[in-house]
Structure 1
Amino acid sequence: MRPVFVLVAALLPVVHGALLLGIPSEQLAAGNTSVPSSFSKSAAPVSTFTSSANSSISNAPPTSPAVGMATVPRKRAAIPACLKTVELSCLNLAANCIDSVNAGNVNTLWSIKSCVAAATCYGVGDLITSVECQTGFVVTNSAQAALPSSIYNGIVMGCTSCAITQQNYIDFYYGQLTAVNSANFPSSIDVVKAFWSAITTWAATGSTVPYMNFNDWLHFSSFPVTTTTTTTPVTTFTQITWNPNPAPTSGAVSETFVTSTITVIIAIPTATTSVVVGGISITLAPGGTPINNPLPPGITIPGATTPTWNPNIIPPTSVPSVTFTAPPSFTTIVAVPTASNSPPKNITGPPGDKNSDGDNWWLLVFPGVIDGLLPADIGIPGGVKPTAAPPPDWTGVWTDPDPTSTSTHNSASASSSASSSSSSCPQPTAAYSLSDDDENSDWEDLGSDPDRRRSNIMTNVARAGGRSMAFTDCEINKANGNLVTNPITVDLKAGTYYTIGTKAAGGIGIALNPIVVNDRPVGNGGGTVAQEHVFEIGYIGQFFKSIKNQGVSCAWIVNNVYDQDGWDGRKWALSLLQEIDQVPNMVWVDKAMNQAKSNVVNQNKATAADPPQMANIKKISDFTTTSSVNLIQDIEYFIRNLAAVGTYFGHTAAIFQATALRVQNCLAQITPNTPDVNLPVAFNVWLRTLIQTYPLGCTSRATNSFNYYHNRMTTVANQLNNGVVPQCFPLFPVAINPTTFTWQNLVPPPPNLPTCNIPGTEGILQLGVNPNGAAEKGVDTYRVMGAGHADFYGLGIGTDFMAGSHFVAGSLAQYPSCGNGAVVVDLTGPGTPAGLPDVLFSPQCNGQTGKQTVPFSFVLNGQTLSCTLIVTVAGKNSPVEIICAGSAAVAVTCANFFLSNRYPTGHLLTGPMMFIPS
């Protein structure tokens, strides 16, 4: 017998090969108006699979890029802090809307299609609030110009006298998602219908909404509750003890004020203005610097440049020694160095004592001044405490940040003492200029590095075009000119900056601090801060190298990934690249942290004999020349960053895991030509094996670099300086304590996919056994497919899950005795009727791998189905119905109903369904 699938009710067959497949006509009719006619799985699907990590603003470029505030005519992207948390497709529309707003159209929002669409899901008032937050303008709903007739006519398909129907609105909503290149579509058509229902409820005009009522809804349905503020505090709020006039960073277009309970964002002012933060009015100069008074306690400006003041006591002058005291009984007397070239004296405070930098040591240098910061409880009998001088360009009343200072000691003498201190030890340059290890200079052979920093970092201008991804082992690389390149340039603006502080601050601290910034931070000078991918693009090349080393051919990798079209028409390789090259996968880091991370990620410089920065450490030649001293200071800063790289991995673990999960899910969508490797499973195993080496890799590299540096400094001291290393280099005399992290937090959960008959496996179906004891086998060859699922596969005929065909389910709830039953049929993918859920495939492997003849089950919405098959007509070439339900009893009852009412000459099959691989 050659079974042929049929329809339970009135037939609408879809024929391919030898199988006739279908679904109830009433089910088809129910889905006719669920999605726009131009919207199909082959174009921009409402996917049945949605990554849990895909929860950020789309990185796809808006069709109408953003323009800045009235006084800043340059383009800028939506500030994440200005957006509220909503359904992702709606968030994409809102982001595109505020990207598109400038001084010229701030009161004509409804002339921007994405703004109209966003208002319907985001809320009119909330959208206005987000626009105010983005631009700094004060606007209202009622101030908006009327909805242009051209946009309304587009919604109603040119019927100017018609009211908007639900289907008009659905078409418009999905059309705008396509227009803005949204990466996210609604998880269900019901989501969009709910947006429309809220509008019709307000308009009270029935199931349709005429122009006047829709225009009224845009102007009067809701209002912004406030301007410029959001209710969520910045999580990195810290109290700043003395912060009189922090200056916004160069190039910033907005300024953020934070308290423990509120955040206020304004445009950078171009004239003297005031801003109210938590009930306190702050006067700002043009450019955003607070004036007339210090910034009130409890308010901070994240990312701003803050002046510093050294409150050290100035020791008595012309004395041979200085006495340091602290309660209850600490006293130490230190001789003053006698000449300008005398080495500084290192003094350590009582155990547990700390200064504001977290250290408990300081230096006494010629002619008796202090270098470094004293702990707060250290006193110097006979010393004087300097009065703080106003920072540069301060205007208005000056308030001493430390009223206990010695008022008779003027700011000039304080400045003099500071210059004396700085002359005793060479002061570090602001810029960090340590070159990369040669093998870390760029990942160009693996694709472009996160910041494309070798060509643009000194100018802070992004290289034209997007980033690329390569696989040198299979000749996909820069040299051959066939890199996989992202057509979209993705750049981080507002984001988190992870830093241990500037090089010039010195010290031995390795505490890594997250700081919220609005644009590229200044760091150690122009070009010393890079935007960094947390999960690197180069990992893709590393992964495919690993499976190639296990025997998978380059031809298989190229044909099935790099050259294979994906579900949406992109190559799978480009899909993988774009899952990584996203703003949510980016942070700002100092160049030294970028270098430190590269050693761990590239798995190089792993031995004590060849540690990170060995070549530069070997260049240390003396302790007096400017070039050598700056080199030493750069090396100490790098080693401190290397010691903090474990903390970096820990802080960014959630970002890393979310991006890795997107990549894993993308690999789970691929259906290869042959089942050489299970891509998502192999990826998770490879990543897990790699990342568990990172904690030790971080700590051992930092220890090795520090030891190599310490030995080099000792060697130079023995050769040139009587074995003495000057106390100008604080890291040298301490023991480094590198940080580590929990590696499991970086790796996504492994896919729980069946181990046999993996995607790419082909075979036929045995549908059961007939009353004569003969097996009923189909003649069509089916392919196991990647369905983008962590637990199950797809099954169908064609190249992959979204082309050709795969199984779907039609509800049988309308039939007596069928309850939650469903008919399972195989339908052509791009032509599948809307609203029919996918049915997945679960072979019962029982620990077996490879191609195996095994029973299988169908799975619907995560539930394994029990199925009963009907041979509808006795004899060969009989059509077959697959009746399934959540329980065997319902499936049998439902099947018997159809057997007795529709197929009196048919019979039920017994035994399990079997997959028989070719």
Structure 2
Amino acid sequence: MASSSTLRLHPPESTVGSAEATLANGASSSSVMPAHTTTPSAVSSSTPTFRKHGAIPACLKKVELSCLNLAANCIDTVTSETFNSLWHIGSCVAAATCYDVGDLITSVECQTGFNVTNAAQASLDYGKIYAGIVGSCAWGSGGCPITRQNYIDFYYGELSAIHTANWPTSSNVVIAFWNNITAWAATGTSTIGSIIPHTHPLQQTTLPPAPSYTQIDWNPNPAPPSSAVSETFVKANTTTVIAIPTNTTVIVVAGATITLAPGGTPINGPVPSGVSQPGAVTPSWNPNIIPPTSVSSVTFTAPPSYTSVVAVPTASNSPPKNITGPPGAINSDGDDWWLLLFPGIVGGLLPPVIGIPGGITPTANPPPGWTGSWTDPASTTTSVSRSASRSASRSASSSASHSASMSSSISCPKPTAVYALPDDPENADWQKEGTDPDRRRDIHSASDAKVGAGLVPRADPRSIAVNQCSLFVRNTGVVSLGAGQYYTIGLKAQGGVNTVLSMTQVNGRPVGNGGGTVAQEHVLGYIDDFFTEALNSGVSCTWIANNVFQSTRADGTNMGLSLLQAIDQVANMVWVDKPMNQAKSNVVNQNKASAQDPPQSQNIDKITSFTNIVSVNRIQDIEYFARNFAALGSYFGNTAAIFQATALRVQSLLSEITPDSPDANLSVEFNAWLRHLISTYPAGCTSRATNVFNYYRNKMNAVSTSTGIAPVPACFPLYHLNNLNPQTFAWANLIPPAPNLPVCDIPGTEGRFSVGSDAQGNPNYVIGNVRIMGSGNTDHYALGSGASLAQGDHYVGNDLSGAYANCQGVWQIGEQPSTANFPPANIALNCNGQVGNNVAAPFNFIMNNQQLDCVLMNIGNGGFYHICGNTVAAATACATSVQATFPGGSLSTPSYAFHPL
């Protein structure tokens, strides 16, 4: 090792004198920082945090880590106003099921100093907790019990809500908690009447008797129509057509394996992401309560006092009975009415508050042999609005001949080339959301007068922002639009019902459906959304500005600009048609989610005629938009690798940050936040596409009734499709691996570290305070006395293999300024199951992701070295060689631990 490579080494505080040594062809020494005796103090639990970190470890018992995180969040959430309302707090209820109620109350008392008793607790919050667990059936007559799946969903949902860094190692862990609950409750069934944690019960909510259930095997996979003789499967650019199978058949489409039952329905799991089945029909499933059989009347009830007794129609040709619910009771279609049909079945959808005494609530189970994930089916929706169906029944006979002649006389215009629907108003200004994909459409030159009117020229650099904080970063370079992948279902003018997404490589902007109808968009632009979530959780604008947007990285670059440049890359942009871009905006912006106000509802509402050319063009645009929406799942699935790579770049940058106060572990928070967000996208895609389709068909039915043109002309093929069959995708493929960082003493935590204990058992501290630092590594933190790896001193490694023959793979660890050219020495911190920022945690130094064992070489006069290798033997052999340079030096084995102040 060259003599110019000097490592400043701090001796333990108990060491007399001070010296700094250099291991190089002889030894030199110089003074070091003076010793001091500052003792650690507890970190206040009242520090505002993005995710709560203030739970006192001494108040928590050792349990499984996900359970421990829930308990820590619970005791850190409790205030002087809520300590006797624990069962109104989701994390407290979830923790009680795995931690033990009595122990949880003891932990709350230890943390807060409040006198908490189980008897004083308010009942389990019915609307917020119980109904949130079981769903809408909580409000039906007879209520409903909590199933195992309810509990599992609740447990994982609470973990997601607290942004945990520790998830159960498998679902079996949570199932074991459930089994303890049912064993304690002694229900003898797979359900319980309310959440009951094992060992001690919560005060139970009084519920009506639970009704019996009918279990239904329900397969959500599309199947060929009954009249079909063949079925088609499409993935990427591969199309496979087979005869309807008569036996169980396995096919492979572009690498995707699909097992088909006799008749052609896929079985044993969801259809793989990216596979579409043109012409297939998705079965519908209705979760309505089934009225009692063989009765002459059905009773409908709702809280607090609604009752309606309705006679069952007596014959198959009897008119249905129309029932209206209590004020404010509406179903998912926005209707407050339903029908009672012969021989006693419910037509339409019941509002969730409606119950039927003695009725049976069907529950969808996976079909036999099902593998993979399972999602309960969504409620079916009616395809004809109440007003349309009533009007149609009144006028059917009088207008039949007129309608037929009108329908036959309408010629079908060819779809126009240009797609003209504007964005939904909620999505019109993406610029405020950060990096802006949609505005890249404008390609006017810098001299164009339109630029001065507010349009963004193509060459204008992109930006990210945190709008609530007025933080803004603009790229210093221009990332030009150009060659890339183009995802499309085909041009609007082709018409039809095709929803198959294909990809081609293009050298520049595709022509698409006309000028400005194709956009090259970024796949990740969530900086504003993520930090807005942080603001809502207590992190300040000043904290975000100082520690993120205005901070300096170890290489001297600006962190805010680096985050933008991690997103603003050619590899992170793809070309899509405008309606696909609009559909994606609805999903990622989490808007237009209701059946009553789906995407493009304001344009669907403008349809008034089947003959007016303006209205016809609008119908054609709506059909093209709906077909693009149906293909949105394939788009997400096909661009998953691009999305994940971009998210990983952002996550890695956030792991570099050492904040001035430990209020958020940004890389961990980002991954958990993104994971929760993206997990909503598959259902967000399919439900919105379905809502658009149903809303559009209802509007067309209404126009048919108001204009007397029936049936709806064949000019509009999507209308005549029974089911749009929107595509889904595997959302987890979009998410980078979660950081495997310690959950205690996160970056920004200040303290000291010790190398062992003295004869009295007191820590033997190294001189000076240190800080846990972000290292840019998602497995380990860094350590130093400066502000970050870019400012001040931090611990580094000096390779000794070049200076000493016995030191191959051995490092000298010591503290150096940020300007020194040495790789950081990270630390593997062992939290021992504890959370929070005041955990005394042992650690080992890490070099090149290899955990090291160290020996401490004391050279006398207060000087010492940390000599670390892959094994104690390797470190000792090296230290013995070095020791020859320092006669009288001694070796010992250190035991490193970080002690927060």
Partner of 1:517: 506
Aligned counterparts, 1:163-312, within 5 A? none
In the alignment, the residues of structure 2 paired with residue 495 and residue 661 of structure 1 have an alpha-carbon distance, to the nearest angstrom, of 21
Quote the offset at 1:14 in angstroms: 8.8
SS for the counterpart of 1:555 is helix
CA 768–619 in structure 1, closer or farther in 2 if over 3 Å, else same: same
Partner of 2:768: 780
SS for the counterpart of 2:899 is strand
Determine which of 879, 898, 901 is the counterpart of 1:915: 898
Partner of 1:720: 707
Aligned counterparts, 1:812-851, within 5 A? 812-813=800-801, 814-815=803-804, 817-832=806-821, 836-851=822-837
Quote the offset at 1:870 in angstroms: 2.0
In the alignment, the residues of structure 2 paired with residue 680 and residue 452 of structure 1 have an alpha-carbon distance, to the nearest angstrom, of 29
In the alignment, the residues of structure 1 paired with residue 806 and residue 899 of structure 2 have an alpha-carbon distance, to the nearest angstrom, of 33
Deviates more, 1:752-761 or 1:645-654: 752-761
Partner of 1:8: 23
Determine which of 710, 726, 733 is the counterpart of 1:738: 726
Partner of 1:492: 481
Quote the offset at 1:551 in angstroms: 2.0
SS for the counterpart of 2:662 is coil
Q: Does the Cα contact within 8 Å between 2:813 and 2:866 map onto a contact in 1? A: yes
Q: Deviations over 1:554-605 (max 9, x none)?
A: 2211221122223344432221111001100000000000000000000101
Partner of 2:876: 892
Q: Deviations over 1:82-104 (max 9, x none)?
A: xxxxxxxxxxxxxxxxxxxxxxx
Q: Deviations over 1:248-305 (max 9, x none)?
A: xxxxxxxxxxxxxxxxxxxxxxxxxxxxxxxxxxxxxxxxxxxxxxxxxxxxxxxxxx
SS for the counterpart of 1:764 is strand
In the alignment, the residues of structure 2 paired with residue 509 and residue 16 of structure 1 have an alpha-carbon distance, to the nearest angstrom, of 75
In the alignment, the residues of structure 2 paired with residue 423 and residue 721 of structure 1 have an alpha-carbon distance, to the nearest angstrom, of 13
In the alignment, the residues of structure 2 paired with residue 4 and residue 582 of structure 1 have an alpha-carbon distance, to the nearest angstrom, of 50
Q: Deviations over 1:20-61 (max 9, x none)?
A: xxxxxxxxxxxxxxxxxxxxxxxxxxxxxxxxxxxxxxxxxx
Q: Deviations over 1:798-852 (max 9, x none)?
A: 22113322222223334354443221122222232xxx44321121111222221
Quote the offset at 1:902 in angstroms: 3.6
Quote the offset at 1:422 in angstroms: 14
In the alignment, the residues of structure 2 paired with residue 14 and residue 574 of structure 1 have an alpha-carbon distance, to the nearest angstrom, of 41
Aligned counterparts, 1:392-431, within 5 A? 424-431=411-418
SS for the counterpart of 1:765 is strand
CA 816–771 in structure 1, closer or farther in 2 if over 3 Å, else same: farther
Q: Does the Cα contact within 8 Å between 2:20 and 2:30 map onto a contact in 1? A: no
Q: Deviations over 1:889-916 (max 9, x none)?
A: 22234334444x2444443344511211
Amino acid at match of 1:767: V
Aligned counterparts, 1:18-417, within 5 A? 18=34
Partner of 2:656: 669
Amino acid at match of 1:647: S
Quote the offset at 1:461 in angstroms: 8.4
In the alignment, the residues of structure 1 paired with residue 898 and residue 409 of structure 2 have an alpha-carbon distance, to the nearest angstrom, of 80
SS for the counterpart of 2:544 is helix
Q: Deviations over 1:67-86 (max 9, x none)?
A: xxxxxxxxxxxxxxxxxxxx
CA 811–632 in structure 1, closer or farther in 2 if over 3 Å, else same: same
Q: Deviations over 1:616-663 (max 9, x none)?
A: 110001011111000000000000001110000000000000000000
* Identity value in percent: 50
Q: Deviations over 1:120-151 (max 9, x none)?
A: xxxxxxxxxxxxxxxxxxxxxxxxxxxxxxxx
Amino acid at match of 1:847: G
Give yes or no for the alignment of 1:443 onto 2:426.
Answer: no
CA 859–17 in structure 1, closer or farther in 2 if over 3 Å, else same: same
Quote the offset at 1:763 in angstroms: 1.5
Deviates more, 1:421-430 or 1:591-600: 421-430
In the alignment, the residues of structure 2 paired with residue 846 and residue 775 of structure 1 have an alpha-carbon distance, to the nearest angstrom, of 18
Gaps of 5+ in 2: 1-13, 36-234, 240-276, 281-407, 445-449
CA 641–911 in structure 1, closer or farther in 2 if over 3 Å, else same: same
In the alignment, the residues of structure 2 paired with residue 710 and residue 744 of structure 1 have an alpha-carbon distance, to the nearest angstrom, of 33
Determine which of 847, 864, 878 is the counterpart of 1:880: 864
Q: Does the Cα contact within 8 Å between 2:484 and 2:575 map onto a contact in 1? A: yes
Partner of 1:705: 692
Q: Deviations over 1:147-169 (max 9, x none)?
A: xxxxxxxxxxxxxxxxxxxxxxx
Q: Does the Cα contact within 8 Å between 2:20 and 2:31 map onto a contact in 1? A: no
Q: Does the Cα contact within 8 Å between 2:510 and 2:518 map onto a contact in 1? A: yes
Partner of 1:158: none
CA 882–771 in structure 1, closer or farther in 2 if over 3 Å, else same: farther
Quote the offset at 1:665 in angstroms: 0.4
Determine which of 777, 787, 791 is the counterpart of 2:779: 791
In the alignment, the residues of structure 1 paired with residue 865 and residue 646 of structure 2 have an alpha-carbon distance, to the nearest angstrom, of 42
SS for the counterpart of 1:425 is coil
Q: Does the Cα contact within 8 Å between 2:630 and 2:727 map onto a contact in 1? A: yes
CA 773–694 in structure 1, closer or farther in 2 if over 3 Å, else same: closer
Partner of 2:177: none
Partner of 2:460: 465
In the alignment, the residues of structure 2 paired with residue 720 and residue 580 of structure 1 have an alpha-carbon distance, to the nearest angstrom, of 51
Q: Does the Cα contact within 8 Å between 2:572 and 2:643 map onto a contact in 1? A: yes
Q: Does the Cα contact within 8 Å between 2:554 and 2:818 map onto a contact in 1? A: no
Q: Does the Cα contact within 8 Å between 2:497 and 2:718 map onto a contact in 1? A: yes
In the alignment, the residues of structure 2 paired with residue 669 and residue 14 of structure 1 have an alpha-carbon distance, to the nearest angstrom, of 32
CA 556–425 in structure 1, closer or farther in 2 if over 3 Å, else same: same
Aligned counterparts, 1:368-767, within 5 A? 424-453=411-440, 455-456=442-443, 462-476=457-471, 483-535=472-524, 537=525, 539-734=526-721, 735-767=723-755
Amino acid at match of 2:897: M
In the alignment, the residues of structure 1 paired with residue 441 and residue 28 of structure 2 have an alpha-carbon distance, to the nearest angstrom, of 61
SS for the counterpart of 2:631 is helix
| Structure with the larger RCO, 1 or 2 (CA within 8 Å, 6+ apart) | 2
Q: Does the Cα contact within 8 Å between 1:14 and 1:828 map onto a contact in 2? A: no
Give me the TM-score of the superposition, normalised by structure 1.
0.53
In the alignment, the residues of structure 1 paired with residue 825 and residue 849 of structure 2 have an alpha-carbon distance, to the nearest angstrom, of 9
CA 13–455 in structure 1, closer or farther in 2 if over 3 Å, else same: farther
CA 558–516 in structure 1, closer or farther in 2 if over 3 Å, else same: same
In the alignment, the residues of structure 1 paired with residue 661 and residue 568 of structure 2 have an alpha-carbon distance, to the nearest angstrom, of 29
Quote the offset at 1:455 in angstroms: 4.9
Partner of 1:807: 795
Amino acid at match of 1:787: S
Quote the offset at 1:520 in angstroms: 0.1
In the alignment, the residues of structure 2 paired with residue 911 and residue 795 of structure 1 have an alpha-carbon distance, to the nearest angstrom, of 17
In the alignment, the residues of structure 1 paired with residue 435 and residue 733 of structure 2 have an alpha-carbon distance, to the nearest angstrom, of 26
Q: Does the Cα contact within 8 Å between 2:34 and 2:767 map onto a contact in 1? A: yes
In the alignment, the residues of structure 1 paired with residue 692 and residue 30 of structure 2 have an alpha-carbon distance, to the nearest angstrom, of 68
Deviates more, 1:762-771 or 1:433-442: 762-771
Gaps of 5+ in 1: 20-234, 240-356, 361-420, 477-482
CA 890–464 in structure 1, closer or farther in 2 if over 3 Å, else same: closer
SS for the counterpart of 2:879 is helix
CA 464–238 in structure 1, closer or farther in 2 if over 3 Å, else same: same
SS for the counterpart of 1:757 is coil
SS for the counterpart of 1:424 is coil
CA 430–14 in structure 1, closer or farther in 2 if over 3 Å, else same: farther
In the alignment, the residues of structure 2 paired with residue 784 and residue 857 of structure 1 have an alpha-carbon distance, to the nearest angstrom, of 13
In the alignment, the residues of structure 2 paired with residue 519 and residue 748 of structure 1 have an alpha-carbon distance, to the nearest angstrom, of 29
In the alignment, the residues of structure 1 paired with residue 543 and residue 30 of structure 2 have an alpha-carbon distance, to the nearest angstrom, of 32
In the alignment, the residues of structure 1 paired with residue 557 and residue 797 of structure 2 have an alpha-carbon distance, to the nearest angstrom, of 28
Q: Does the Cα contact within 8 Å between 1:503 and 1:524 map onto a contact in 2? A: yes
Quote the offset at 1:607 in angstroms: 1.0
CA 447–775 in structure 1, closer or farther in 2 if over 3 Å, else same: closer
Amino acid at match of 1:469: I
Amino acid at match of 1:915: F
